[in-house]
Each structure stands twice: as structure tokens, then as C-alpha cells.
């Protein structure tokens, strides 16, 4: 049986701030109990906020159902056509492998060699240190977990980019407008991206505003623009699965379901590059039209 209790916004935000700072859930419960809260209630409140973080779901409102069904992610099939070959406009791509959870497909021949080289040439002069949103302040900061250099193209910025974005839309069955601008990443020896999920965790105001403007992220397409000589694999630590970059190959994985919950098994990373360099183009796809923070 479940009961509904009041969940004051200031208590919820205090729990969210502590989780964001990395305080262990049990330590937060202990602190609440020390402040004369019932242990079951404190646990339910901390669970509700940490599950919202885990699944990229909105933070709980001012009423909480204690003893109700816990949040959990229900997997859905990939929105990509079946079969070993997929025709995307004038281009035929080959399926190398598929995975059920996270829903993923690894493709060969997604980009031509010439397209890879053109993307690199366009991005090279505009590279900067990669940044991420700081989970505490919501500001853009040079990423501790991302030691690559990067840049973003605007949507359909050049005919080449518009052509590739149309291909991505065909592959994923999503409108071009749902895509964020194409991100280019360049890794040199030693550079890596530590384990993270690509969906937006609702613990900071910048992410919540971004979700309010454009919806949650539901999928990621990684396009590899160059073979790597050592390291630099995209890995999924919860699966023990890794993908070695090869020029023209792409990896598409989906993590957002129709209930707006996201799949924590999509946790992934790029292992430290040991030799050569690595170029990758990333397309993050929202569940509705992407509206940038500073359009223009």
C-alpha cells in the first residue's frame, strides 16, 4: 500500500544539491534522520530524487507517493530499419551489429572517405577545448572528463552538413530539426572522455531549461572520421562492449523512451588515445525540435 505525503520544494532541492555534489544517498538519508525525519520518509525522498537523476526524469513535484512503484526504464526497439543493408537516400549503409540494450546499431559506409576529410578540414581551424555544463553551476566549463578539442556546426551550415543531417534523419526516423548542431571532436594521444550518459540530468537549472526548450535527448550518433592506431575506443562499461573507430563507420544508440525516461545502461566513454589521433562527429537528437540557448 502506498501513501501520499508532502514533499516541500526546498527539501527536494537540498537533496538534489547534495547528490550533485557527490554526497552518497545513504549519507543524505542519515543527515535527514539526524534532523528528526522518519527513516522511511527520508529514504523515499532521497530515492525519488536519485531515480530522477538516474533516468533523466523531471524532479518530483510537491507530493510524493511513498511505497508506490519505483521509476524504471522500459526498453523500446531501435527506431532504425531492420535488415543487413539500409538505403539512406543515395547511400547504402551496411549493418555490422545490433544491440538490444542500450538499443544500438553499428554501421559501415555511413560516410564516404571524402565526406570524412571535408568535415575534418572544415572543423580544424575552429577547434577549441571541449566544454561541458558544470552540474553544480550550470555554466560551460572546460571538461575534466573530456580532454579533447571540439567545435559545433550550425544546423545545415553547409551543403555537405545538410546532406549528412538529412541522412541522419532518414536513419533515425527523426526530423532534422530535432538534432543539435553537429559536434566535432579531435582527440590527441592521452585524450579521453570519462564515463557519462548523454541525456541531460535534471539536477541543474541549465539542463532543466534546455529540456524545457527542446525536450530531452533521446539518441546519439557517433560518426568516426578516421581509423585510430591505438586506444580511443567507444566503450559501454556496463556491457563490456567496445567499438574501435574506423573511417566512415557510425554508431547509433538510443536511450530515451516514450515516457521521457532514459536508459542508464547507455553509460559510455572514450578510452585514452594511445597512438595517432581520433576524429569523431557527434549528433545528439532531442525528442522534439532543438532550440539553442542563444539562437543565431
Axis-axis angle for helices 25-34, 39-55 (nearest 10): 150
Q: Whose Cβ is closer to ligand PD2: residue 147's or residue 234's?
A: 234
Q: How far is the CB of 293 from ligand PD2 (least distance, A)?
A: 18
Of the listed pieces 11-19, 20-28, 115-123, 195-203, which binds Zn ion according to CB under 5 A?
195-203
Of the listed pieces 80-88, 90-98, 257-265, 266-274, which binds ligand PD2 according to CB under 6 A?
266-274
- CA angle centred on 158, ends 157 and 164, rounded to 5°: 95
Q: How far is the CB of 218 from ligand PD2 (least distance, A)?
A: 14
Pick one of ligand PD2, Zn ion, none as the site partner of residue 200 (Cβ within 5 to 8 A by kind): none
Continuous segment of H or E residues that includes residue 14 = helix 9-20
What's the CA gap between 281 and 111, in Å, rounded?
A: 11
**Cα distances (angstroms) measured from residue 116 to each of 83, 105, 170:** 25, 20, 19
Binding mask 7-46 for ligand PD2 (x = CB under 6 A): ----------------------------------------
Among residues 18, 43, 77, 20, the alpha carbon closest in space to that of 202 is found at 20
Q: Does residue 219 have a cis bond before it (omega within 30 degrees)?
A: no
Does residue 115 touch Zn ion according to CB under 5 A? no
Among residues 160, 177, 195, the alpha carbon closest in space to that of 269 is found at 195
Q: Whose Cβ is closer to ligand PD2: residue 53's or residue 253's?
A: 253
Radius of gyration of the chain, Cα coordinates, nearest whole angstrom: 20
Does residue 198 touch Zn ion according to CB under 5 A? yes
Q: Whose Cβ is closer to Zn ion: residue 60's or residue 245's?
A: 245
Does residue 282 touch ligand PD2 according to CB under 6 A? yes
Pick one of Zn ion, ligand PD2, none as the site partner of residue 282 (Cβ within 5 to 8 A by kind): ligand PD2
Q: Whose Cβ is closer to ligand PD2: residue 7's or residue 224's?
A: 224
What's the CA gap between 14 and 19, in Å, rounded?
A: 9
Amino acid at each position: 500500500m502506498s501513501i501520499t505525503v508532502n514533499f516541500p520544494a526546498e527539501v527536494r532541492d537540498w537533496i538534489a544539491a547534495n547528490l550533485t555534489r557527490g554526497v552518497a544517498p545513504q549519507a543524505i538519508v542519515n543527515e535527514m534522520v539526524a534532523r528528526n525525519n522518519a527513516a522511511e520518509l527520508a529514504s523515499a525522498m532521497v530515492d525519488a530524487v536519485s531515480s530522477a537523476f538516474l533516468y533523466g526524469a523531471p524532479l518530483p513535484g510537491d507530493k510524493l507517493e511513498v511505497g508506490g512503484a519505483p521509476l524504471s526504464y522500459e526498453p523500446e526497439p531501435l527506431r532504425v530499419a531492420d535488415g543487413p543493408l539500409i538505403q539512406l537516400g543515395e547511400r547504402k549503409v551496411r549493418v555490422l551489429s545490433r544491440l538490444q540494450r542500450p538499443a544500438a546499431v553499428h554501421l559501415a559506409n555511413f560516410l564516404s572517405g571524402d565526406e570524412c576529410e571535408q568535415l575534418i578540414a572544415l572543423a580544424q581551424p575552429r577547434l577549441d577545448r571541449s566544454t561541458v555544463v558544470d552540474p553544480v553551476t550550470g555554466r560551460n566549463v572546460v571538461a575534466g572528463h573530456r580532454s579533447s578539442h571540439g567545435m559545433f556546426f550550425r544546423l545545415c551550415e553547409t551543403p555537405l552538413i545538410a546532406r549528412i543531417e538529412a541522412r541522419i534523419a532518414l536513419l533515425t526516423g527523426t526530423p532534422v530539426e530535432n538534432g543539435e548542431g553537429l559536434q566535432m571532436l579531435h582527440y590527441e594521444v592521452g585524450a579521453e572522455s570519462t564515463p557519462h550518459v548523454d541525456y541531460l540530468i535534471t539536477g541543474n537549472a541549465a539542463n532543466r531549461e534546455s529540456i524545457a526548450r527542446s525536450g530531452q535527448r533521446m539518441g546519439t550518433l557517433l560518426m568516426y572520421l578516421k581509423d585510430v592506431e591505438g586506444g580511443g575506443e567507444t566503450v559501454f562499461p556496463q556491457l563490456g562492449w567496445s567499438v574501435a573507430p574506423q573511417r566512415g563507420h557510425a554508431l547509433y544508440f538510443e536511450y530515451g523512451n516514450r515516457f521521457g525516461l532514459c536508459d542508464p545502461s547507455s553509460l559510455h566513454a572514450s578510452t585514452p588515445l594511445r597512438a595517432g589521433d581520433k576524429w569523431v562527429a557527434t549528433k545528439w537528437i532531442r525528442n522534439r525540435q532543438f532550440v539553442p540557448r542563444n539562437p543565431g
